[in-house]
Amino acid sequence: MGSSSSLGARRQRVAVIADAVAEMQEHLESSAPGGLAAICDALAGLGFEPVVLEFAGDPSSWLASLRDGGFDVVFNLCEGLGGQGSEEALPASVVELLGLPMTGARAFTLGLCSRKDVVNAHLRAQGIAVPDWAVSRAGTPLAWRRYPAIVKPVAEDASLGIDAGSVVHSRAELEAACARGHQTWERLLVQRFVDGREINVAIVGDRVLPHSEIDFALLPPGLPRVVTYAAKWETGSVYDRGTMPRLLGADEARLSARLARVAQAAWAAVEGCGYARIDLRLGERGRLYVIDVNPNADLSPGTGLVRQAAGAGWSYPELIARILDLAFTTQDPRARQRGARRAAVPA
């Protein structure tokens, strides 16, 4: 990648920003190597100087370290601040304010996609199919009559708050699921559950990687075909064993092309740049529905986007190098300003 030599022989300093609370939680939940350590190792192997800056609750000292560290680029691993996923856009806003190139999506995209109800409305306004939804607020009756439905937090990711009881088939089940959810979250998304194939589309820059389908074949009968929190974080659980990813084969080229078009349209609609994973469901009559747009998808070894990159023939360091290179070409404010000036000059 060209960015590593753009400042001469000096090793470029990369601020790897992360949320200390989220990193601690990930360490407690999984014995596998986390994304923070793996990315730092990859960056060092690529000839960069990674410096970890974890947000530990003191905004002023964190901001000063980021501002005064002589950094050339920021690798953004913040999925929130202080363990609050709803604050995911704030670190990106800070980096943009400082004028530093940054990996992944910009603050606008992160903020938009962190609110499932808002991004659903935005996508539908752009002509992209999403299942019908409503927002349940604690203490407020909800008019909903379409089943099956799924209940999940409005502003969380990583399948937080999703379990087998989240998929409901009656008013009584819906009320029970909402009552459980409202013990933790004030707002919940109630959405029509499309009980079809679930396929993840990964995008890095302008490249669509091989698609990955969630195979529910090993899930015991009676359990809803959904990717729960346990499927992602509880190794060896029923849902972990019953939700196996597999790359789509060459015999599904037509479906793959449709998936790519819908995912790219969704990513463009949210003004995405960098890298993302878009989750889709194949519904009745073959219609594709977007169920989640996940900017700055998890880059820990073994996660979906990393597996899909491997399916494209990319090693882990190559994936990290491509993502970092995109920061210089699409997120560097100086490059955008130069482009704007060139656009303003009459031909």
DSSP symbols for 120-156: HHHHHHTT-----EEEEETTS------SSEEEEETT-
Using alpha carbons, select from 120, 137, 139 the residue that is nearest to residue 129: 120
Cα-based angle 124, 130, 136 (whole degrees, multiple of 5): 95
Residue 247's φ and ψ, nearest 5 degrees, are -75, 140
What is the average per-residue pLDDT within 105-118?
A: 96
Structural contact between residues 199 and 214, judged by C-beta atoms closer than 8 angstroms: yes
Is the pLDDT score of 343 beyond 90?
no
Q: What is the pLDDT of residues 143-199, one digit of tens each?
A: 999 999 999 999 988 899 999 999 999 999 999 999 999 999 999 999 999 999 999
Is the pLDDT score of 335 beyond 70?
no
| Whole-number pLDDT of residue 250 | 87
Instruction: Reply yes or no: is the peptide bond before residue 141 cis, omega within 30 of 0.
Output: no
Q: What is the pLDDT of residues 316-331, one digit of tens each?
A: 999 999 999 999 987 6
Is the pLDDT score of 203 beyond 80?
yes
Domain ranges of the chain: 2-104
| Whole-number pLDDT of residue 346 | 34
Is the pLDDT score of 4 beyond 50?
no
Question: Beta-carbon neighbour count of residue 210 at 10 Å?
Answer: 17
| Whole-number pLDDT of residue 35 | 85
Q: What is the pLDDT of residues 204-252, one digit of tens each?
A: 999 999 999 999 999 999 999 999 999 998 999 999 999 999 999 889 9
Q: How far apart are CA 118 and CA 105, in angstroms?
A: 17
Q: What is the CATH number of domain 2-104?
A: 3.40.50.20
204: number of CA atoms within 13 Å, CB side?
Answer: 24
328: number of CA atoms within 13 Å, CB side?
Answer: 16
